[in-house]
Amino acid sequence: MDLAPVLSGFAVVFEPQNLLYCLIGVTLGMLVGVLPGLGPAATIAILLPITYGIDPAAAVILLAGIFYGAQYGGTITSVLLRLPGEASSVVTAIDGYQMARQGKAGSALGIAAIGSFIGGTGSIILLTLVAPFVANFALEFGPAEYTILALIGIFLIATLGNGTLIKSIAAAGVGLILATVGLDPIVGTARFTFGSDQLADGIDFVIVAMGLFGVGEILYNLEHRLRPQPAVLSFGRAIPTRLEWLGARLAILRGSVVGFVLGVLPGGGATMSSLVAYAVEKRSAKDPSRFGKGAIEGVAGPESANNAAATSSFIPLLTLGIPANATMAVLFGALLLQGIPPGPQLIVDHPDVFWGVVNSMYVGNILLLLLSIPLIGVFVRLLKVRAAILAPLTVLITMIGVYSIRNNVFDMFLVVALGLVGYGMKKLGFEPGPFVLAFVLGELLESSFRRSMRLFGGDLGGFVQRPVSAVLVAVFVLTVVVVPVLRAVRGRQAARAEREVVGV
Amino acid sequence: MIAEESAPPGERAVVDGTPPVTELPEGEIPSGGPGHAVLAGVVPVLLGLVTMWLARDLGLGTLTDPGPGLWPMIVAVLVLLTGVGILLRARQATDTEAFTRGAVVVVIAAASLALYAFLFELVGFEIPTVLLLVLWLKFFGNENWRTTAVVSVVATAAAYALFITALGVPLPHLIAI
């Protein structure tokens, strides 16, 4: 492959301002992982308006840093408090917390950081090799292929998420309906605007993401705000011993591979890969009974896996324009805001953005290793920051940020309304993730579908007559069959993991 | 550099005080009854029906030449069907959460944000921002008055510096610098 663009990507990364944005991004990511309440998707959504004015490569470097940085930070609460900050760190809490109780919190955090670093970095290298091929292949795609691809993406996110299958599909459907508000993409008729000029341009994606992820989460946390602050286990250095490293290094390797492969699939890549990696470790151990009692492989495997998966989940977004999870959906919006449509042409048309972002992850992972080994004490102290102070500040940034998109007060009312929708969805068992993702892909899906129908003269059979789209249809059918099986397996494992975390 | 004061490097870490009793947050939230489960199905059914009704008026066109209403109609039917499916399984559902008394706080919080947006353009952003922060810190967060006063004033000043001075957002404001 041609190495020149890859190398010039490094030139982008090492521009001082981009290094600074990378540092800010990963530090924010660590903070988000450690602090209760907001997840990475919400944080990125809230910061979107602020990054509006920054140069595209820098903006995406910053936002991507938040995403993979949060994977490092989430480990800290899992190990020290047995409160997984992210779904992908749930299994880490099983053995990590036991290690902490045995006085080995430092080892657990150290091996998690090293595993995350190796998993993340390995995954970037593989991404560098794989992504150009996928993008090149996808350049041939027409509307029919995009219709099926978007369908696969929405279906997988809906089914691999945490909620019930049917509720996730319902949420995705409502997201698709909301995406049709505004002018018809082909004939220009106003749809569902109820005569309001404010809605004629449709609803801005940023407002939907900020409302459902940002305001929705804050409101949800307000209802149960009186949660007692658990005591933090203290520890010495976050460095594993030589013996622990020898015991964990194969687990790190296996976890990284599992993570990379599962991360590419749309859907809960990081979460699923950490669960699978835990199962792999338990199965390949000579003495599986150590698991649940502080086995270091039970920390090393899943933590390497969730980081590798976080990195490889950039592949579908950057090469096909199909976001693989909720955070990628928000990054999709970030790229659109910057005037860069994500898709196969990204790597050709904007090599500086593509390779700048990809290569910035090397730097980001090194920075995170520094933040999570020598500087970990700083972040542990932050566990004492009260949510009662954070929530009002977050909500303030959200409200002013929303206003700043179009300097329009109407959008502020809209974000509050969507926040209430997000709150209600969580209460009634609907995941906001599929909703936001379907909203993002809604216009692509509708316009590709309608163009295909014109192309095929109204014959639905056209989708299976083009070779590439026929293959994609086959993949779609296959996922419809395979995914429920995967869900059943994962459901059993997650239930077991949860029982062990709770310590029943 | 990293050692907690109580534990010198390399020393066995100590548990401060008694072993902490932590619960997963899910354990504290009561799950919603059958009423919530039914509501979770009724909402998509109604949304589906309303969208279908509106989409029909937009004009469906044909498959060869789809009108503006065809796609919303297809999705609306899907949403309607999922709603029916949720209703059929409502008896077994355990994935909803009850609305506790804390829900009142949520409604007040949302109303305060709407009021904030309303006042924002009328009187500039400074006064509503301080008031919003006082409400959230003092009454939702149970912070003391000193923390409330300091955080709300400093945060308002910081928001001014970030959005108006640094990012150049034309926020309506009283104080000109």
pLDDT above 70: residue A217: yes
Which range is most confident: A254-268, A349-363, A434-448? A349-363
Of A87, A104, A486, A473, the closest CA to residue A270 belongs to A87
Cβ–Cβ < 8 Å for A255, A122 = no
Cβ pair B24, A224 in contact under 8 A = no
pLDDT tens digit string along A484-500?
A: 777 677 667 666 766 66
For chain A, say whether B88 makes contact (Cβ under 8 Å).
no
φ, ψ of residue B66 to 5 degrees: the values are -65, 135
The two tokens of residue B127 are 């006064």
Q: How many domains does chain A have?
A: 1
The yes-or-no verdict on residue B5 having pLDDT over 50 is: no
Q: How confident is the model at residue A101 (pLDDT cuts 50, 70, 90)?
A: confident
CA distance A1 to A347: 13
Domain parsing of chain B, residue ranges: 31-88, 102-166
Higher pLDDT, B25 or B169: B169
Residue B23: pLDDT over 60: no
Cα–Cα dist A307/A263, whole Å: 9
What's the pLDDT score for residue A501?
61
Which of B16, B24, B65 faces A231 most closely, judged by CB atoms?
B16
pLDDT confidence band for A191 (50 / 70 / 90): confident
- Extract the tokens encoding A249: 């290094």
Q: Mutate which of B54, B57, B82 to disrupt the A interface (most A C-beta within 10 Å)?
A: B82
Q: Distance between CA atoms of A104 and A247, rounded to whole angstroms?
A: 15
Return the number of CB contacts < 8 Å for A and B.
262
Q: What is the pLDDT of residues B99-149, one digit of tens each?
A: 887 889 999 999 999 999 999 888 988 999 999 999 999 888 888 899 999
3-class secondary structure, B61: strand
Which residues between 298 and 317 in chain A have a beta carbon less than 8 angstroms from any beta carbon of chain B?
A: none
| B83, pLDDT greater than 80 | yes
Judge whether residue B24 has pLDDT over 50: no
Contact status of A177 with chain B (Cβ, < 8 Å): yes
Chain mean pLDDT for chain A: 85
Q: Inspect the interface and report whether the beta carbons of A166 and B82 lie closer than 8 Å.
A: yes
Confidence at residue A477, expressed as pLDDT on a 0 to 100 scale: 86
ipTM confidence score: 0.82
Q: What is the mean pLDDT of residues A444-469?
A: 85
Interface contact B90, partner A, CB < 8 A: no
Residues contacting A361, CB < 8 A, separation 6+: A64, A68, A120, A124, A311
- Euclidean distance between CA atoms B63 and A474, whole angstroms: 23
Q: Which of A174, A177, A236 sits opposite B8 (nearest CB)?
A: A236
| Predicted pLDDT of residue A302 | 92
Span A319-366, pLDDT tens digits = 988 888 888 888 988 898 888 888 888 988 999 999 999 999 999 999
B10 contacts A236? CB cut-off 8 A = yes
> What is the extent of the structural domain holding A144?
4-246+315-502
% of chain A with per-residue pLDDT over 90: 27
First-to-last alpha carbon distance for chain B, in angstroms, is: 42
Over the stretch A382-425, which tens digit does the pLDDT of each residue have? 777 777 888 898 899 889 988 988 888 999 999 999 999 999 99
* Cβ contact B82–A232 (<8 Å): no
Side-chain half-sphere CA neighbours of A252 within 13 A: 21
Which B residues, 6 through 45, put their C-beta within 8 Å of a C-beta on chain A?
6-25, 27-29, 32, 36, 39-40, 43-44
The answer on pLDDT for A225 being more than 70 is: no
Please name the member of A170, A237, A450 whose beta carbon is closest to the beta carbon of B66: A450
Q: What is the pLDDT of residues A284-332, one digit of tens each?
A: 888 888 888 888 999 999 999 989 999 999 998 899 888 888 888 889 8
Tell me what pLDDT residue B81 has. Answer: 95
CA distance B158 to B165: 10
Distances B73 to A52, A115, A171, A195, A451 between C-alpha atoms, Å? 35, 49, 16, 20, 17
Q: Is B146 on the interface with A (CB under 8 A)?
A: no
Task: Identify whether A425 is part of a domain.
Answer: yes
pLDDT band for position B16 (cuts 50, 70, 90): very low
pLDDT bin (cut points 50, 70, 90) of residue B21 is very low
Interchain pair B141, A174: CB under 8 A: no
Contacts of A373 in chain B (CB under 8 A): 2
pLDDT mean across residues, chain B: 80
Q: What one-character DSSP code corresponds to residue A231?
A: P
Q: What is the pTM of this model?
A: 0.82
Structure tokens at A152: 């696969």
Instruction: Tell me whether A344 touches chain B (CB under 8 Å).
Output: no
Contacts of A181 (CB under 8 A, 6+ apart): A191, A192, A193, A199, A202, A203
Chain B residue with minimal CA distance to A220?
B106
Q: Does B167 touch chain A (CB under 8 A)?
A: yes
Half-sphere exposure of A75 (CA within 13 A, CB side): 39
pLDDT value for B2: 38
* CA atoms of A155 and A132, how far apart (whole Å): 25
Chain A: closest CA distance from residue B177 (Å): 19
Chain A interface includes B125 (CB < 8 A): yes
pLDDT of residue A407: 86
Average pLDDT over residues A149-170: 80
Q: A6 vs chain B: nearest CA distance in angstroms?
A: 32
A423 close to A220: Cβ distance less than 8 angstroms: yes
Whether A132 maps to a domain, the answer reads yes
The pLDDT, as a whole number, for residue A265 is: 76
Contacts of B164 in chain A (CB under 8 A): none
* φ and ψ of A465, to 5 deg: -90, -25
Instruction: Tell me what pLDDT residue B7 has.
Output: 36
| A384 within a domain of the structure (yes/no) | yes
pLDDT band at A231 (very low <50, low <70, confident <90, very high): low
Q: What are the structure tokens assigned to B6, written together?
A: 């109580």
Please indicate whether, in this complex, the C-beta atoms of B4 and A235 are within 8 angstroms of each other. yes
pLDDT digits (tens, 9 = 90+) for A23-63: 999 999 998 888 766 778 888 988 888 887 888 999 999 99
CA distance A453 to chain B (A): 6
